[in-house]
Every structure is written in C-alpha cells, then in structure tokens.
Amino acid sequence: MAPTKVTSVDLDTADPRDIICYLNAGENEYNGHLGVRISALFVVLVTSTLTTFFPVLATRVRRLRIPLYVYLFARYFGAGVIIATAFIHLLEPAYEEIGPNSCVGMTGGWAEYTWPPAIAMASAMIIFLLDFLAEYYVDKKYRMAHVQVEGAITTGGHGHDHHGLHSADQDGAIPPNRKTAERVPDAATSDKGTPSNDTFDVEELKNIEGDNQQAAIGFQSQIAAFLILEFGVLFHSVIIGLNLGVVGDEFKTLYPVIVFHQAFEGLGIGARLSVIPFPKHLRWMPWALCLAYGLTTPLAIAIGLGVRTTYNSGSFTANVVSGVLDATSAGILLYTGFVEMLARDFLFNPYRTQDKKRLTFMLISLYLGCAIMALLGKWA
C-alpha cells in the first residue's frame, strides 16, 4: 500500500495531532560524508577542550602571564554564552520538542499543560534549594556568615563578607558598612600605588589553590553549584553530538556552528571553574572537569556515527527525552548564569571594581557573548 500523501488529507476533519506528528516524524537523514563527520569529532574535541582549559590555565599557571583583560574577556564572554545557551539553545528547542504545538505536546498528558517552562522553573528552584542548603551547611559548620575568600586570591590574605569569588574584577573598594575590613589592593595599580597598564598579568592574582580554612569554605560553597552547571551543559552537549553524527544535508551548516558553539560554551565552563578555590589535595579536579566537558560532545558524535543509519532524532521517544533534558538544563543554566555569575559578580560583590574602563569592558564582553551565542541559534 502506498503511503498516504499529505495533499490527500482533509484538513477540516483530520486530527491536527496526526498531521503534526506526520510532519515531524521524518526518517533517518544520514547522507554519508563519514570522513568529514569523523573530522568533526576531533575538531570539536580540540577546540572545546582548549577553550575550556584557557580560563583555568590563566589563573593557575603563573608563568603564562596572561593579560588581565584577556582573562576578563574569556570570563564574562563565557557568562553571556551560558545565559544565551539557556534561552536560545535549550528552552526554545524544548518548546519545539514537547511544547503545545509539537507532536508530543498534543499527545496524552503532555497536552494537559505547557511543560517546557514548568520543567525549567522546577529545575531552577531545585538548584536554588540545593545551593541554599549547601550554603546553610557551610555557615553552620564553620559558624560563620558569608565568607569572602577573594582576598586570598588577590593578596594571599583573608577577606570577609561574601563567599563568591571574583578573582579579577575587584579594585580594593572597601565594602559598605565594613570600614574595618581589610583593603584589597587595586589589581590595576602597582605596589607603589601608581596605575599600571593593561598588560597586568593574571599571575598577580596569586595561586588560588590552598588548604586554609577560608579556601576550604569557599570551595565547599561553590563546587556543588558548579557540578550542577556542568551536569546541565553535558546533557546539552550529548544531544548536540548525537545530532551532528546523524543529521543530513544540514551537516555542512551545523558543523562550523557547533564548533563555535561548543568552544564558546567551554569558555563559560572554564570561567566558572577558574574562580573556585580548589584545595591542594583536589588540584587535579579542575583539569578533570574541563576534560570531561571537552570529551562529552566528541563521544556523543562517535555514538551518533555508530547509530547513524538507525537513530531518528525526530521520533516521539527522542523528542520526549531531548525535550525534558533541554528544559531541565535550561533551568540549571538560567539560575547559574543570573545568580552564580552575574548577581554575585556585579550586584552583590562588595569588592566590585570601581574602574569604569574595566567595568565597561566586562559588560561589553558579557553582552557580546549573549549576542553571538544567540545569533548561532539561527543555525543550531
């Protein structure tokens, strides 16, 4: 029996769900070019790994002498990328996969509610609860309020007031209502108090690894939030890798876009890692976490190539799985981007720089990351 043609369907009587499901189902679109697809595996591996390692190298390998503004660009550009990824590359696809106008969204219980924003909201609220409980535990265990450890990063001393780490954006402003707080030297001035040029090295931020109590508290209060962030990003990377391995004619466009996408996202991961004060016995962890991100997409591409003739990314089951994971990851990245990266750096950091030039550069980098990653959403 010949398959039913769309043109023979009576649109006045047909169930819209059947039409949408028919149009979205499709078939496996793999169209060859195996050699180029294998090359994508290695290109993505190298680019995403290097960009993820860069912010960590900048703050931990002193002899590299990375200019401060290069580090600041990587850090805040990466923050913008994380936020744009949540909105454009995760939440919007979730609507396409399980939203009200999708095949899944018109079926059974999926049709009873608009699930993508609900899943994203639940995910963000759960992350908030875990973040709060972790901070409450740290406060109670050490009998301290919020701890400022960034002083240890910039001067090797002890700081106060806030547990967030802001290793390159403070300039020594005394926190409000803390006139007796230790003043952190301006990262943009020399030891003699004279302004330095823009070739200031991140080396001068000092080695943030340590085993003192301040660093231990800062580490415990941040590592859980970071692991949740990486968990969400890795989910997204798996889906990207699978699609790149099996996609059809879109591969030529998707290939370069995914390379940039994963590289920029790696900057966000590395930037977040670069300000966590890992204790000496865990000095291997930031490198391992960077490598985990760098390997995830290539491994998913390899899996996609392995099932390239059978996997159908448009199937009902694939849409449910990817839609739920995308919405969940969107909530994680939204919370992390706005709270962990922006609010704690720009709004609630008592040591935030007062240098207008540096603040402007940080904001431009942030918005540039958002804009470029949002633009990439046109193709992937």
Q: How does pLDDT run across 63-77, given as a tens digit for each residue?
A: 777 888 888 898 899
pLDDT at 126 exceeding the cut of 80:
yes
Torsion of CA 187, 188, 192, 196, to 10 degrees: 140
Can you give the pLDDT at residue 260?
Answer: 92
For the chain, the average pLDDT equals 77
Can you give the pLDDT at residue 208?
Answer: 39
Task: Express each pLDDT in 30-40 by its tens digit.
Answer: 777 788 889 99
pLDDT at 209 exceeding the cut of 60:
no
Task: Express each pLDDT in 317-355 by its tens digit.
Answer: 888 999 999 999 999 999 989 988 898 889 988 878 888
Task: Express each pLDDT in 213-268 by its tens digit.
Answer: 555 556 766 787 788 888 888 888 888 888 888 887 788 888 898 999 999 999 98
pLDDT at 290 exceeding the cut of 90:
yes
pLDDT band at 142 (very low <50, low <70, confident <90, very high): low
Query: And the tokens for 158?
Result: 């002890």
Given a contact cutoff of 8 angstroms between Cβ atoms, the answer to whether 309 and 30 are in contact is yes
pLDDT at 26 exceeding the cut of 70:
no
Can you give the pLDDT at residue 24?
Answer: 66
pLDDT at 203 exceeding the cut of 70:
no
- 3-state SS, one letter per residue, for 71-137: HHHHHHHHHHHHHHHHHHHHHHHHHHHHCCCCCHHHCHHHHHCCHHHHHHHHHHHHHHHHHHHHHHH
Quick one: DSSP state of residue 193?
Answer: S
pLDDT at 358 exceeding the cut of 60:
yes
pLDDT at 49 exceeding the cut of 50:
yes
Map out the domains of the chain as residue ranges: 17-143+204-378
Given a contact cutoff of 8 angstroms between Cβ atoms, the answer to whether 168 and 139 are in contact is no
pLDDT at 147 exceeding the cut of 70:
no
One-letter identity of residue 109 = G
pLDDT at 293 exceeding the cut of 70:
yes
Taking residues 124-135, report their average pLDDT.
87
pLDDT band at 12 (very low <50, low <70, confident <90, very high): low
